[in-house]
Amino acid sequence: MTFGKVPNTFQVRSTRGAAIQEVIPFRYKQALVTGGAGFIGSHLVDSLVGLGCKVNVLDDLSTGSLSNLARVKSQISFFEGDIRDRPLLSKVSEGCDILFHQAAIVSVPQTVEQPVYTAQVNELGTLCALEAARNCGVKRVIIASSCAVYGNDPRVPKHETMEPCPESPYAVQKLNGEQHARLYWKLYGVETICLRYFNVYGPRQNPGSPYSGVISIFLNRAAAAKPPEIHGNGTQSRDFIFVADVVKANLLAAAAQGVSGVNINVGTGKPVTINALWKLISHIFKIHVKPRHTEARAGDVFASAAGTDFAASALGFKPEHSLEKGLRITFKWHKKVLAKNGYPRR
């Protein structure tokens, strides 16, 4: 196995608090964010820096980009390397009291193509992160899991008490990560919380990737005034959550008292059909382009929505961004980035 190098280390210094500090008491002094150069991880890093927390980032830059960390690069310690590199993981966990584990291979098709390699990163990588936390005395580990663990169970909303029904290696890897996390709480007392993200969108989600979420693909099509491809009749629904709300859920999970060894949905509970999504995006872009409907994809989930009761009671979590608000913010980012020099290269 080959591992990444460790060339880039930025020095940390504290900064003024972000608005989010007013609502969430953040008691941690130093955090490790794995996958912190990625879409969600980099927003989390921004907020942690804003809260005055020292932040170490570990990322192999396979899909993440240093440009995502441009705003905070002089205030964090960045380590380029692989989550499975245990000596490196120990080094970057040293002195941290919380670990946010975001690093993963997020492409479901890639996990289908390469089930063993992706399990090494997604499942073994999660285990390595938990083990580093145990050995280095990191109090709490917050893990990015996924609504994919619910699979094709047709019942909506999805509640955490439902039996998981993973339909892809990616979903199995996420589910196994949850099981490891539960055991690390039971056996070793490492406080773990797994957050089952639903469909996350927002600035820095790269629409250049064929595996990007539907929103970033639609925004790309809308920017070019070209019709998007909708699989099936478009009445399938998804629960889209804005990235800032996902960051908020992570910070609340960090602050929560008496909640460990559990899995918690992070969604809005308000499903939107793919047809309605395109309509809203067309409205924001002020375009009139009809989508192109293609064959429904085998195994596509018909309806997905998060049950939000447990997130509300365990974390006090309530998303703050409506889909329209989140889309408008994302739209602005798209315009700015496209006007500059296109999407960041990987």
Ligand X SMILES: NC(=O)c1ccc[n+]([C@@H]2O[C@H](COP(=O)([O-])OP(=O)(O)OC[C@H]3O[C@@H](n4cnc5c(N)ncnc54)[C@H](O)[C@@H]3O)[C@@H](O)[C@H]2O)c1
Q: Does 141 bind ligand X (CB under 6 A)?
A: no
Q: What are phi and psi of 217, to 5 degrees?
A: -65, -45
DSSP secondary-structure letter at 122? I
Counting every residue written for the chain, the total comes to 346
Q: Are 77 and 10 in contact (CB under 8 A)?
A: yes
Q: Does 90 bind ligand X (CB under 6 A)?
A: no
Among 8, 62, 77, 90, binds ligand X (CB under 6 A): 62
Q: Does 93 bind ligand X (CB under 6 A)?
A: no
Among 103, 133, 247, 315, binds ligand X (CB under 6 A): 103
Q: Give least dist CB 222 to ligand X, A.
A: 19
Q: Which of 28, 150, 170, 343 is catalytic?
A: 170
Q: Give least dist CB 70 to ligand X, A.
A: 14
Q: Does 219 bind ligand X (CB under 6 A)?
A: no
Say whether 170 is catalytic: yes
Q: Does 38 bind ligand X (CB under 6 A)?
A: yes
Q: Does 213 bind ligand X (CB under 6 A)?
A: yes
Nearest to 240 by CA among 217, 263, 260: 217
Distances (CA, A) of 195 to 87, 125, 260, 270, 332: 26, 17, 11, 18, 28
Strands 262-266, 191-197: pairing kind? parallel
Orientation angle between helical segments 86-93 and 125-136, nearest 10 degrees: 50
Q: Does 106 bind ligand X (CB under 6 A)?
A: yes
User: Between residues 104 and 219, which has the closer beta carbon with respect to ligand X?
Assistant: 104
Among 144, 252, 315, 323, binds ligand X (CB under 6 A): 144
User: Between residues 122 and 233, which has the closer beta carbon with respect to ligand X?
Assistant: 122
Q: Give least dist CB 103 to ligand X, A.
A: 4
Q: Does 230 bind ligand X (CB under 6 A)?
A: no
Binding positions for ligand X, 261-320, rule CB under 6 A: none
Q: Where are the beta strands (DSSP E) in the chain?
A: 30-34, 54-59, 77-80, 98-101, 140-146, 191-197, 199-201, 229-231, 237-238, 240-242, 262-266, 272-273, 292-294
Mark the segment that binds ligand X (CB under 6 A) among 13-21, 32-40, 131-139, 337-345: 32-40
Among 10, 26, 31, 35, binds ligand X (CB under 6 A): 35
Cβ-based neighbours of 102, under 8 Å, separated by 6 or more: 33, 34, 35, 36, 38, 40, 41, 44, 144
Q: Are 263 and 146 in contact (CB under 8 A)?
A: no
Burial class for 125, CB neighbours closer than 10 Å (0-12, 13-18, 19+):
buried
Q: Does 60 bind ligand X (CB under 6 A)?
A: yes
Q: Which residues are catalytically annotated? A: 170
**Interface residues toward ligand X, by CB under 6 A:** 35, 37-41, 58-64, 82-83, 102-106, 121, 125, 144, 146, 197, 199-200, 213
